[in-house]
Chains A and B, each alone.
Chain A
Amino acid sequence: MIKCLIIGLLGLALTTTAYAESAEAKGLRLAKELEKANDGYRGEKGTMTLTLIDAYKSKTIRKMKGLTKEVKGDGDLSLSIFLNPKDVKGTKMLTHSHKKNDDDQWLYLPSVRRVKRITSRSKASSFMGSEFSYEDLGSQEIEKYKYKWLKNSKTKKGDTVWVLERIPRKKSGYSKQVLYIKAKIHNPIKIEYYDKKKELLKKSTFKKYRGYKIGKKTIYRPTTIHMVNVKTKKESIFNWKERKVGVSLSKREFKKSSLK
């Protein structure tokens, strides 16, 4: 009897080990769940403000228009157009994201009527003086990172939060990112960015999520993203004023030639 029990327990232990999901596999699985939950938004457009706050709390507010088009089988297309203030009005950033390769990004500078391709090294650089880098505004495709599940935690309201680590597979301005994903909406509520020395560099918080009904699916988007550079104490806040999700956008609006 005891022998049978030992064999049984041993068998159960072996089975559990064989089927136990590694932290990496769990991280990847949850990342795929996130991707699936956010798939099918078709297109998105809206206006937003980008508030730049320096270490002395002095503020500059920029108004932008943003368009994003979902592309099946590859990364998305996005276009940001600065509307205000006057000194940056007409500046445009076009991103062609890719699942595996580096994103293609171009900046149109109206003062010199020039479309400039952004170098992959510059992708770690600041976007228009903000704490968001070109990389932050590019695609976050699963294929570009190695994932690892770190732990589960709870929000103050008791919602489950998955804490995932992701390490870029290719050249990046970061050594790793730690994502805090609210399981209920399959979207991040916080991301920590670590520099090449593996020290915490920036923290972004995603607030005021709103659900958009697209067919039978609800896709969530934050109204505010607040990025804080813990080293320079500078901050930047994206705040969406109006947003439409599920819109149909022409691919032509995302051509490099239409930037001029």
Chain B
Amino acid sequence: MAFEDAYFSQRLGEEADWKVLAGYRIFNWTATEAFHPADVVNSRNFDSNVENLEKKGELTLELERTLEDGSLNFYYWPRFEEPDYPGKESRLGSGIDLERPVWIDQGDATSNQNWGVQYGARFQYTLDDADFSFHYLNHIDRNFPVVGTHNHLTVGTVTTPLELRFRPYFFRVSQMGGTLVYNYQGLQFKVEAAHRNFEQKVQIFDVGNQGLRQPDDHSEVALGLEYGLSHESSGAESTLLLEYQTMFGVSQARAEEMSVFQNDVLLAWRYAFNDTMGKELFLSFIFDIEREHEFLYNLSYQQRLSDVWKYKTGVRIYDAPKKKTTAQGLELLDKANHAFFNLIRYF
């Protein structure tokens, strides 16, 4: 069982600009639809859609200062929430069950204790037609694990693992980043970026890549463009989306190992029927502009059935055949094609 949102919040005085919040919380710091470099606080359920992974609540103590046109938030997270990984039978898994993760903090590569110090701050502001935010985080990263073992022996140039284990290692990271959403002439421009410095330089034997690895310091930038248009004859509306994400500061080969979307483009179309049943069609296509033949197609449809029931159905196609010995990025999901039908009951 995982908590999503379960918190208590209190304003410090009737007219005060300070608010305190404590409990489990899901954050959404993203500006874009498919690529989320700034939105990294929560652990994810990796057994879900790769471009919008489900989030798990994070135990949070938050202090918020309301400003004239924005806010300043300070965060403390005492617990490292474990991500959920697909099991070996899952269509989105890699055929193995991962072990309990190890949190590499203060150079220690043996701790699987979930408690420790994580903190951050975020400043949000609105200026005319633009919303922007900046953040700083010092926490245990949950997005760039190295899977393998820290027990290895190097003789000359050859490194040999002393055990065969599939254990995710997560590293402490300092992240600075931000978002910008700007409306101009009916278009919406979006920028989302983050730079990450991994603090501990501990080498892990990566079983997938058969070599020593550690998460490398890097930057990620996502750019987005949104255009909406109304269909007056039907009352429906369309939203067209174009997004791009890239990585800086690491080699192409390393970027491919670290991220599914290291140089990718999203094209999407959302068609809202704007009727009483809330019918909506969404079509998206993500492709890698650096690596050949890596495509992710998604078609989904949702509508209400009543005031408390809704369904969502669709199909997802992963077309990314393995090019080298080890599958990288989207190749890990190649042929994990599936159709889905979700029935949702609101309480």
Write the residues of chain A forming the contact surface with B, with a CB cutoff of 8 angstroms.
Answer: 52-54, 58-60, 84-87, 89, 101-102, 104, 112-115, 117, 119-122, 124-126, 129, 131, 171, 173, 195-196, 201, 229, 231-232, 234, 250, 252, 255-258
Cβ of B276 and Cβ of A87 under 8 Å apart?
no
Complex contacts, B129 vs chain A, CB 8 Å: 101-102, 104, 120
Q: CB of B126 within 8 A of chain A?
A: yes
Does B49 sit within 8 A of A, measured CB to CB? Answer: no
Q: Could you list 18 further interchain pairs (A-B, Cβ under 8 angstroms) beyond the known A86-B346, A113-B28?
A: A54-B275, A54-B276, A60-B307, A85-B308, A86-B308, A87-B304, A87-B310, A87-B346, A113-B26, A120-B129, A126-B235, A126-B274, A232-B233, A232-B234, A252-B17, A256-B70, A256-B124, A257-B66
A121-B227, A126-B235 in contact; A252/B183 too (CB < 8 A)?
no
- Contact between B276 and A102, CB atoms less than 8 A apart: no
Top 4 nearest A-B pairs by Cβ distance?
Answer: A85-B307, A121-B186, A86-B346, A257-B71
Residues of B within 8 A of A112 (CB): 28
Report the Cα distance A9→B268, complex, angstroms: 71
Please name all residues of chain A whose beta carbon is closer than 8 Å to the beta carbon of B307 when the two chains form the complex.
60, 84-87
Q: Are A255 and B310 in contact (CB under 8 A)?
A: no
Kindly state the separation between the CA atoms of A53 and B234 in the bound complex, as whole angstroms.
14
Give complex CA distance A124, B239 in Å.
Answer: 13
Q: Which of B17, B186, B227 has the most CB of A within 10 A?
A: B186
Nearest B residue to A125, CB-CB: B237
Q: How many A-B residue pairs have CB under 8 A?
A: 110
Q: Which of B5, B124, B128, B187 makes the CB contact (< 8 A) with A121?
A: B187
Whole-angstrom CA separation of A148 from B129 in the bound complex: 30
Q: B74-130: which have CB < 8 Å to A?
A: 124, 126, 128-129
Bound Cα distance from A87 to B305, whole angstroms: 10
* Chain A residues within 8 Å of B235, by CB: 126, 131, 229, 231-232, 234
| A58 contacts B276, C-beta separation under 8 Å | yes
Bound together, the chains give a CA A238 to CA B44 distance in angstroms of: 40
A255 to B235, CA, bound (A): 31
How far is it, in angstroms, between the C-alpha of A125 and the C-alpha of B30 when the chains are bound? 23
> B109 CB to closest chain A CB, in angstroms?
34
Once the chains are docked, how many angstroms separate the CA of A60 from the CA of B278? 10
Nearest B residue to A130 via CB reads B274
User: In whole Å, how far is A84's beta carbon from the nearest beta carbon of chain B?
Assistant: 8
CB distance from B275 to the nearest CB of A (A): 6
Q: Is the CB of B71 within 8 A of A255?
A: yes
Assess whether A60 is in contact with B276, with CB atoms less than 8 Å apart.
yes
- Residue from the set B188, B229, B272 with the largest chain A CB neighbour count within 10 Å: B188
Task: Flag B209-233 by CB within 8 Å of A: 1 or 0 each.
Answer: 0000000000000000011111011
Chain A residue nearest to B227 in the complex (CB): A121
- Contact of A129 with B275 in the complex, beta carbons under 8 Å: yes
Chain B positions within 8 Å of A52 at CB level: 276
Chain B contacts with A in 234-253, Cβ cutoff 8 A: 234-235, 237, 239
Do B70 and A173 touch (CB < 8 A)? no
Instruction: Name the CB-closest residue of A to B345.
Output: A86
Chain A residue with Cβ nearest B14: A250
Please state if B188 and A119 are interface contacts (CB–CB under 8 Å). yes
Distance (whole angstroms) from the CB of A11 to the closest CB of chain B: 52
CB atoms of B186 and A129 under 8 A apart: no
Asked if A101 contacts B124 (CB within 8 A), the reply is: no
Q: Which of A89, A121, A171, A229 lies in contact with B346, CB distance below 8 A?
A: A89
Query: Across the interface, do A114 and B131 meet the contact criterion of CB distance under 8 Å?
Result: no
- Interfacial chain B residues near A102, Cβ < 8 Å: 129, 183
Contact B278 A129 (CB under 8 A): yes
Shortest A192–chain B CB gap in Å is 15
Q: Which residues of A contact B28 (CB under 8 A)?
A: 112-115
- Give the complex CA separation of A229 and B230 in angstroms: 14
- Complex Cα gap A242–B131 (Å): 34
Residues of B within 8 A of A86 (CB): 307-308, 346-347
Known contacts: A129-B274, A255-B71. The answer to whether A119 contacts B186 by CB under 8 A is yes
